[in-house]
Amino acid sequence: MKRMLLAALGLLFASSAFAQDAAEEAGIDQAISDAVAPIVNPIVSTVFYSVPLFGTDFPLIVGWLVVAAVVFTVYFGFIQFRGFKHSIELVRGDYFDPKDAGEVTPFQALATALSGTVGLGNIAGVGVAVYLGGPGATFWMILAGLLGMASKFTECTLGVHYRNEYPDGTVSGGPMYYLSKGLSEQNKAALGKFLAIFFSICCIGGALGGGNMFQANQSFAQVSSIIPFFEGKGWLFGLIMAAVVGVVIIGGIKSIARVTEKVVPFMAVIYVGAALLIILMNIGGVPAAIGEIIGGAFAPTAVAGGMVGALIQGFKRAAFSNEAGIGSASIAHSAVQTRHPATEGYVALLEPFIDTVVICTMTSLVITITGSWVPDSGVTGIDLTAKAFTSNISGFGYILAIAALLFAFSTMLSWSYYGLKAWTYMFGEGQAKEIVFKVIFCIFIIIGSSMSLGPVIDFSDAMIFAMAIANIIGLYMLMPKVKALVADYQEKLRSGEIKKVT
Amino acid sequence: MADTFVVGFDGTASAKRAVQHAAVHAKAGGGTVHLVHVLEWSPYSFLTPEELNERHKRREEELARAKAIVQPIVDDLKAKGVNATCEVRHGHAGELLCEIAETKQARQIVIGRTGSTSIAARLMGSLALTLVQASPVPVTVVP
């Protein structure tokens, strides 16, 4: 296996060294962009098929996610508000049987799933949303986050209920399993299988897009703005990043992953702390900022098509950031130790709350409050966020660059695993097959950091949202099952069969 | 009820001396030696998705491995005519030993000395220090 790794890396280095001789450095980036664009563009335009609505194009897929979130919210009787307290109790371990010590706790499942979703979406994605949709996008983002909690609840409950538990004690779960197993219970095995395969293909695409290229691209943007050496050398940055990721996922050097997993929560705390600090420093401006956010949300005249533009951007970035309805988190949540799948639904609904309602809102408040948003200025994505933070805390750009790099890295590791799970679901397990996927994953890091932001974001969005097509069809068909599981669980809570352990 | 001696056991030489120390007392009074092997584990540590999915398997492996270390000692004690039991648990060693001592209404907790005098151990907090501060029953540290 080591030899294969070395050969693969050698090949990467050789081809890039050759390319370096052949062309100017900026030319390499351009060449990679040009080569990928014809493949990417048709996919993007299919997934984001839009209908004209109030003078702007409204992508149907965004409506698809929001309608689903509303349906689940109503169907489960506003579970995200009624069950919020119970969620906190579960994560705190109030119901965790001490006999199960050593198993995966609800806290661990939540933390791992969060480290996959809290990432550049919260820093760069919000920058994009505010740039294109104005501060009003924040309002819709929060609303989408609150609604998305119900989608997460549904998919993570199913993920645990239909997971595979193998004789050796490992588990595999996620949409591919509940789609195929759940629907075959309803005598729709063929449809279930089809949706599971469709989901898996999109999941691999999502892993390579939003879970990889977008991350590589945005962390490169941040690093190159601080270290001028890298400017225009996206391929070189990508190569380094690919080598580090490759060492972890192909070479199996777990210690790097472990260090990252420890540093990421720490960075998240620093990030939120800095955001809070800036908000406190400008406390006088908060009412005005909130006014701008709410005003912008309903304004007929804001940029990018007014209210509808803000709404589309807000919903899109929220979905991209918290992945509710996408199905990815269900893969991470499936491993938890519980006798009642519904408990994991409760735990998972905290995820969009922390990710979107808390962290994304902080970012956009900072951008709004500091007045960093200038329409049509070209300052978007992570640059906009960086500008907002540095305007109050000079030198924060460096911290942000490190945070961005680490967030990107941990998100890549999570997604490489999600993608791998989808890959092995389709092609079966086996070391050679797994290495093929991992090498492809590393190559896409180089592609991602070489391309300009637009095509990367489009592709990332397209693939991630495509996952939601299959996932949500399945969720609709399986939601009575979830309701039964939840009713059973709540009955046991009421009767005292499930009690807090004190 | 006969006296129970709870012994914190991790397979090291000093832990074995602690077992022998407890065994002498248990045999004299017709008591029981209860060996506790704690696998350090925190419900709040961070795991990668891959580790999550393998956690249940790893836990079983850890328990089996620990059991394989403790069981021979128990058998050996029984052969010598000492009542002996054991358990393997995941968690925080100090907390678990105190908890088990309390539920078993133990006479004593017996542990082996780690032999470390470094500042690191003092800052991190050793098992002996934790027990001295929190134990519900007398604690014996065997050198």
Average pLDDT (A166-172) is 83
pLDDT, position A223: 84
- pLDDT of A301 above 80: no
Task: For A172, name the nearest residue in chain B, comparing CA atoms only.
Answer: B53
Residue in A111, A335, A414 closest to B53 by CB: A335
- B57/A172 touch (CB, cutoff 8 Å), yes or no: no
What does the pLDDT look like over A303-358, one tens digit per residue? 555 777 788 888 888 887 888 888 988 988 887 878 888 998 999 999 999 989 98
Q: Is residue A355 part of a domain?
A: yes
CA A352: distance to chain centroid?
10
Task: Indicate yes or no: pTM above 0.95.
Answer: no
Give the count of domains, chain A.
Answer: 1
A185 or B43, higher pLDDT: A185
What does the pLDDT look like over A178-230, one tens digit per residue? 999 999 999 989 999 999 999 999 899 888 888 888 888 888 888 887 888 87
- B41/A107 touch (CB, cutoff 8 Å), yes or no: no
DSSP A356: I
Percentage with pLDDT > 90 across chain A: 25
Average pLDDT (B122-130) is 69
What does the pLDDT look like over A1-48, one tens digit per residue? 444 444 444 444 444 444 444 444 456 667 766 776 777 677 777 777
pLDDT, position A26: 54
pLDDT band at A124 (very low <50, low <70, confident <90, very high): confident
- pLDDT of B23 above 70: yes
* In chain B, domain spans: 4-108
pLDDT, position A134: 85
Q: Is residue A500 part of a domain?
A: no
- pLDDT of B86 above 70: yes
d(CA A124, CA A399): 15
Query: In Å, how far is B29's CA from the nearest CA of chain A?
Result: 31
Whether residue B87 lies within 8 A of chain A, CB to CB, comes out as no
pLDDT, position A75: 94
pLDDT, position A76: 93
Query: In Å, how far is B2's CA from the nearest CA of chain A?
Result: 26
Kindly report the CATH number that applies to the domain delimited by B4-108. 3.40.50.620
Selected residue of B37, B39, B44, B48 to mutate for chain A interface (largest A Cβ count, 10 A): B48
In the numeric block, which tokens belong to residue B52?
Answer: 């999550």
Whether residue B64 lies within 8 A of chain A, CB to CB, comes out as no
Residues of A in contact with B59 (CB under 8 A): 102-103, 169
Whether residue B81 lies within 8 A of chain A, CB to CB, comes out as no
Residue in A102, A170, A257 closest to B90 by CB: A102
Selected residue of A94, A105, A250, A409 to mutate for chain B interface (largest B Cβ count, 10 A): A105
Average pLDDT (A168-185) is 90
Provide the 3-class DSSP secondary structure of residue A195. Answer: helix
> Chain-wide mean pLDDT for chain B?
84
Phi, psi of A69 (to 5 degrees): -60, -40
Query: In Å, how far is A92's CA from the nearest CA of chain B?
Result: 10
Q: What is the number of residues in chain A?
A: 502
- B52/A98 touch (CB, cutoff 8 Å), yes or no: no
The H or E element spanning position B35 is strand B32-40
Beta bridge partners of A53: A56
- pLDDT of A285 above 90: no
Query: In Å, how far is A500's CA from the nearest CA of chain B?
Result: 16
Whether residue B41 lies within 8 A of chain A, CB to CB, comes out as yes
What does the pLDDT look like over A427-439, one tens digit per residue? 988 888 889 999 9
* Domain of residue A70, residue span: 2-495
pLDDT, position A22: 40
Which is nearest to A169 in space by CA: B106, B63, B81? B63
pLDDT band at A146 (very low <50, low <70, confident <90, very high): very high
pLDDT, position A497: 81
pLDDT, position A465: 82
pLDDT, position A21: 43
Average pLDDT (A427-456) is 84
d(CA A360, CA A354): 9
pLDDT, position A18: 42
In the numeric block, which tokens belong to residue A417?
Answer: 């695993």
Beta bridge partners of B4: B32
pLDDT, position A14: 44
Residues of A in contact with B44 (CB under 8 A): 105, 107-108, 111
Whether residue B118 lies within 8 A of chain A, CB to CB, comes out as no
Task: For A330, name the nearest residue in chain B, comparing CA atoms only.
Answer: B49
- A108/B49 touch (CB, cutoff 8 Å), yes or no: no
Residue in A96, A332, A418 closest to B43 by CB: A96
What does the pLDDT look like over A461-492, one tens digit per residue? 788 888 899 999 999 999 999 999 999 999 98
Residues of A in contact with B37 (CB under 8 A): none
Which is nearest to B97 in space by CA: B68, B74, B126, B55? B126
How many other C-beta atoms lie within 10 A of the C-beta of residue A346? 27
- A417/B89 touch (CB, cutoff 8 Å), yes or no: no
Task: For B59, name the nearest residue in chain A, comparing CA atoms only.
Answer: A102
- pLDDT of B51 above 90: no
What does the pLDDT look like over A40-89, one tens digit per residue? 677 777 777 777 766 666 778 888 888 999 999 999 999 989 999 999 99
CB B130 within 8 A of CB B114: no
- ipTM confidence score: 0.80
Which is nearest to A245 in space by CA: A421, A437, A462? A437
pLDDT, position A10: 46
In the numeric block, which tokens belong to residue A8?
Answer: 């693969």
Q: Is residue A502 part of a domain?
A: no
Whether residue B65 lies within 8 A of chain A, CB to CB, comes out as no
Average pLDDT (A91-102) is 83
Query: In Å, how far is B4's CA from the nearest CA of chain A?
Result: 22
What does the pLDDT look like over A234-272, one tens digit per residue? 888 889 989 988 888 887 777 776 777 777 778 888 888
A118 or A344, higher pLDDT: A344
pLDDT, position A386: 87
Residue in A102, A171, A258 closest to B59 by CB: A102
Please name the residues in contact with A210: beta carbons below 8 A apart, sequence gap of 6 or more. A121, A320, A415, A460, A461, A463, A464
Whether residue B45 lies within 8 A of chain A, CB to CB, comes out as yes
CB A479 within 8 A of CB A72: yes
How many other C-beta atoms lie within 10 A of the C-beta of residue B54? 19
Q: What is the CATH number of the domain that holds A17?
A: 1.20.1740.10
The H or E element spanning position B139 is strand B139-142
Residue in A93, A168, A261 closest to B48 by CB: A261
pLDDT, position A305: 54
B120 or A109, higher pLDDT: A109
Residue type, A283: I
- pLDDT of A276 above 70: yes
Selected residue of B42, B44, B47, B62 to mutate for chain A interface (largest A Cβ count, 10 A): B47
